Structures are given as structure tokens and as C-alpha cells.
Chains A and B, each alone.
Chain A
Amino acid sequence: MVGLLLDCLTTSALLFLVTVGLLIIFGMMRIINFAHGAFITVGAYSSVVAGQYGLSPWLTLILGPLAAGAIGAIAEPLVLRRLYGRQLDTILATWGLALIITQLVTLKFGRGTQPVDSIDLGTVTVLGTPYSSYRLAVIPLVLVLSIAILLILRRTRYGLVGRAVIMDDDLAQTLGVNVKRVRFTSFVLGSAIAGLAGAVLVPMSSVDPNLGLPWLINAFLISLLVGVSTTALAFASLALGSAQVLVGLSFNSVSATLAIPVLAVVLLRLRAHGFVRG
């Protein structure tokens, strides 16, 4: 029972983590970033590079966001800046970007799964149930991250300007806001958070060029449900993550992987606004 509860919480935390970067980019830029999965992969591969230089696996948590953020900083002016306001084209462009990044990773490191030294925290016994300490550690990490994002959006000038851009980018521009810069910053921030998610996934998954892909699909569906609200994302992650775990328990893992897509579609049908109020 305790294990089940912890599974729900940790699965939800992971969902939040892989989705929030996508959400920032969607909110600020109206771009559904299909390269999000590739940025997750890049973040995970920072552990491979760290290993090659004999660095501690903990450093991956910094290197991952840095690497993915850097690639985002190159990609935004090169690819996306020309395509704002053309939503269908940006989907195509970011998907192309994903293919390019994935192929570059494959060329550099090969197709196979990579040997990596990953963070090993062992297990901890929670109310008599042994559980992976690392999975548990993801929960506070996500809490800190989400509070940081909320503070940036609510309490900083970037957040204020950013919210102005979300509400009406044309009006913001006429008021003298440098929309270009806001978009650049958002894309880099979103990419970096994807990189962080990738780095966090390393101790739980196989590091290979397709690592990010299955996460992208769930992240995409959830972001459709929550629009641009981080708070709504927290609720949606908790609800859908728990649903996935519970379906897995009562039926089997095959149906559990269907839980999020099916629920997301049903919710959108019944309530087009998803988890957003109004």
C-alpha cells in the first residue's frame, strides 16, 4: 500500500518534470516543441560525456541542462525565429530538429545503449516497505523546480514580461517589450529543463538515442490538457500519473501505458479546457 502510494507520487513527479519544459515553451511561444524528447536525450547523454571525463555522475544534473540549453540557444535563432505564428510549420520544424539531434547523437555515440556510471542512492525503508531512494529524491527535486518556476513567473520582471507576452504578444510588442528576447529566453529555459529531466532519468533507464521519445508523447498529451498553467500541470501530473500506476496494478502494464493517452483524449472530449479553469 505504501509502495503503491510512493509509486503514484514518484510517477507523477517524473511526468511533471518531463512536461514542464514543454509547457514553458508552449506558453511563451505558442510552439509545440516536438524536439522536446531529443532535448531529454541530450540531457541524458551528458552522463556519458561526464563518464568519459571521469566526472561524478552528480554533475550530470548540471551538465544535462547546460548541454540541452546550449543546443536550444543555437536552434532558436536558426530554426524557430523565422516561423513564429505559423503553428503547423513549427511542428514540422521542431520534429525535423528532433530527427537531426537524434541522428547526431547516434553518429557520435552509436545506436546501442551506453554504459554510464549513474547515481546510486540504494534503498530506504518507508513504513516497512523498501523503496528506491533515488525515485523518492525526485519528489523534492520537482517541488523545488516548480516553486522556482512559479517564483520566476510571478515575482521577476522576466515573469511579468513573459506573462504579458502570453496574454497578447502583439500588444506587448507595441508597449516596447522585446518579444524576440523573451522567446529566446523561454526556449533556452524550456530546453534546459528538458535536459535536466533527461539527466534525472539516467539512473532509471537505458541511455540510448531514443530515450526521450516515449516521454515526449505523454508530455505532449498532458500539455494539451493544461494549456500554460504550471499549477494545472501539477494537478494533471498527479491525476494521470496515479491513474497510470493504478491501472497497472489492477490490470497490467500494457493497459497502463494506454492510461494517459486514453484519459487525456476523454478529458479533452468532455472538457475542452482540460485542467484549466474557465
Chain B
Amino acid sequence: MYKYDNYDQQMVDARVEEFRDQARRRLEGKLTEDQFKPLRLMNGLYLQLHAYMLRVAIPYGTLNGEQMTALANIADKYDRGYGHFTTRQNLQYNWIKLEDAADILADLAKVEMHAIQTSGNCIRNISSDHFAGAAQDELVDPRPYAELLRQWSSFHPEFTYLPRKFKICVIASEKDRAAMRLHDIGIQIVQQDGEIGARFFVGGGMGRTPMIAPMIRDFVPLDQLITYAEACLRVYNRYGRRDNKYKARIKILVHELGKDEYTRQVEEEFAHMLDQGVEPPREELERLKPFFADPTFEDGAKTVDRSDPDFALWVDRNTHRHKNDAYVSAVISLKPVAGIPGDATGDQMRVMANLAQQYSFDELRIMHTQNVVLPHVKIADLHALWTQLDAADLGAPNMDTIEDMIACPGLDYCALANARSIPLAQRISEKFDASGKTEKLGELKLKISGCINACGHHHAGHIGILGVDKKGVENYQLSLGGSEAEDVSLAKITGPGFTEDGVIEAVETVTDVYLAQKQGEERFLDTYRRIGMAPFKEALYD
């Protein structure tokens, strides 16, 4: 994985000291909250319901054991012994004191981490495929391109005050495991006539106006990648709305201009920029690639002993095919039955760090589904790994099942939320686990957001739940048919909302419809697409 050079380290260290001074001045009353707020947000420090919240960037979700251990130590020393992994492949601490914030950033900097650009109207953490560099089906490892984009977008002076926040995703396989087309810019690394290049999708996103990004260019040569991205941003920065934050995202601009006109303007800007030296030298990309080189894989067993049914179930559900057939990527579920999705204690983080060092070439990945991946695990080591995970309550065999739901922090933590998300996740997980129905349902992606900002990706859920405020009472809208994958689609609302108890019953009802109507190996989403909304509505409301 990427290692900081002196310049990277100096930038991050300088930023820590700059923030230390800003926080000191705030505490001494030399800065008002209005003056300080944009400064703290630029360093990932929010004020949430119960305390300050710090969001730490995990670039494209990749980190090593030392970094995970540092996150654990911060959780224990400065927070309340846990952290929350997010749908942006980041980590959030919920109980931070302003007087500790600079010390935390200093601790992060010691392990090449920071919280820069995890808030504000700038280019946020670049996200990517959590199986990057390991997946059998990828064209190349997308992370060198993500790292190039990270370096380009860090402290980019032109894009520090965009009309609104901006999210970029890079993948390199036909299978989309990163919700690529639901980003402001989604980049797919592709091959054309033997040459590697980038396909650009622009103007996707969730939030109050969900949109799927249309493709605006099917191939950009690698030596023009940054220039093209910059052209996309420039057109947005120039014409994106600044008068209304709800219409300020690039998806609104692309929608209002129309894909063709937006593309025309980008191409015009791109042509203008091509001879201006915007593109970093190709050598820079080549310099980055060795950081992401394959570890030295060894030959080994290709199968496991399946005599332990619990272990066999975990292998079936929580491992992913690796490009080396003696290895798999192992998914560590942060969704124990009735647990809080995405939360891990400091002790659990240390267990994961140690297991990464022991079994996965010291690498971990954070999934946007709020789980953790050990990307390169020898099949021969799987049983030993699973045994240790299980002992740490990290062995839930539920990847991509209804119990593996995404849930935002919701009204239990978030100042923007209208309703609680986590209690729904807990109750649904408990209910389906107890009934044994999870197995019958197979792949079923449930996503829960506590407000219209859609941090819980409810628009992209096979089943989505959105919490709303109905005259001061929590109410929940149900939606069906979304997908964040390569078969991307936006979920549609079933009808009137439900109470907390009602929406849990409603989830059960729609899964009953699916099981009754399912043909062959259809997933819930396939059945929904075949039979449409009507049978589900009938069961829910008639």
C-alpha cells in the first residue's frame, strides 16, 4: 500500500499544528464558532448530538495493521472504546472533546492518517472496490489510480470551495462493488484495443435527489486521466448552483444542462486544458504502482475441510474469490445479530489488526457496507482465522444477507437525522436470525437511512428504509428495487409510511411475497423486477 514520502508527511504534520492553533484560539475565545466551524470541518470535526464527532479518512478503504491499531488506541484513549465504520469507507468517533482533537490528529499523523477533506465542499475521500488488488475479476488494481486522484485532489486550491461536497469512486471490474455510478464522478478503469484507460460516469448520487450517473466518455487515455477529471470539476465549479444547497450537487447541473450539453462543455474545457500541463507526468502513476504490487503468494490448499458446518457456512458466505486460487478475500462482518452495523470496539480493531498481520500480508480494507476485509488469506489458514474471529464476535456468517444491512447512525447520534436507524437494524437482524429465514432469502441488500441525506444508501437497497419526521414522531418509508451494483437502479417507494413496529412487519411481508413468487434461483431483486411493485403493495396495504 502507499507509503507517505517526506512531502506527504510534512503536509499532514503542518496541518495538525495549524489545527492545534485554531482549536486553541477557539477555546480562548479568539475565534467565534462561525469562524471556527469551517476550519474544524476541513479537519473532519463535526458537532453532533452528544459530542464532537471526528471522521477519519481511510483512502479507498485501505489500511494496515499498525493503522488499525492506532484507530483502536484512539478509540480507547480519547473516545468511549469504539469506532463506527461508514459507508464512505471511513471511521467515525462519536465522543470527541475539542480539547483532545489536535492530539488525536497528531496520533493519526504518526501512522500516515488524517481527517483532511472528510467534510466540507471539497473532494472527499476517494472510494474504491474493497477487493481491489485481490479480486479474480478485475482488469487491474484500481488503487494506483485512486491514489493519483487522492494526491491530485488533496489541498487542490481550485476545488476547496466547490458548490457542494464531491465524491469520486474508482473501480476496475465489470462488477461494481463500490456503488460507482452513485458518485459525483465514477471512474471505471477499462481496456480498449489493448490500452488501459478510464471510463467516466458523472452526476450520480443519492441524497434527496437520487440519480444514476450517465457515462460521458467511454475511454480517456491514462495520460489524460487527471486533466479530464479536472475538466469535469471545472465545469461544475463554474456553473454548479451556489444559491441553494439542495440543488448544488453536480448531479443537478448534469440533469439540468442535460448529459449532452454538460459533456460538450467538459470536452471543450478538456481540449482547452490539454496543452496546459495539468496532467502529472506519467512517471508519477508508474511510481505509485509498485506500492500496490502483489505480495508474494504461495501455493497451498485450494479447498477447506467442511466438516464443521458453522465454518463451512462462514466460508460460503464471507469469502470472495481471489485472483490466486490458493487464497480468498475474507469478509469480517461488523453485523453480529442485534449489533450496531459498522461499530467495532477498540479490542475488536486490535484483533482485526493482528489477524491482518498474521494472515493477510498486513492489509485490511473497509467496505462501504460497513464491514472489514482481509484481502489475501490463504485458504489453508481460513479455519484458524475464523476461529479467532468467532471468539471476538467477528465471525457472523452473513455477508450480503438481510442481516448484513447498512444503517447510518441515525437519530441516536446524528444532528441531521429525523429518525433512528440502528434500532430497526437490530430488530430486523434479530427477527430474521431467530426465524431462520435469512438463509432462505439469500442475497438481499437492506439499507436504512435516518434522513433524506441517504448516508444509509436506502435508494440503492433491494429493500430501502428511510426515516422521516412526521409531526415529531418517527415514521419510516419503505422502498423496493434499488441496486448499487452493475445492475444499478433506484428503489421506488411502496406507499404510505409505517411506524417502527409497522416497518419491521412490512419488511417481513415483502420478503414473504418474494419467497412465494420466487422462480428458480432468483434473488429478491430479480423477483421484484420480474413481477413489479403491485404484488408487494397489495400485500402491504390491502
Q: Do A and B bind each other?
A: no
Residues of B at the A interface (CB closer than 8 Å) are none
Q: A residues bordering B, Cβ < 8 Å?
A: none
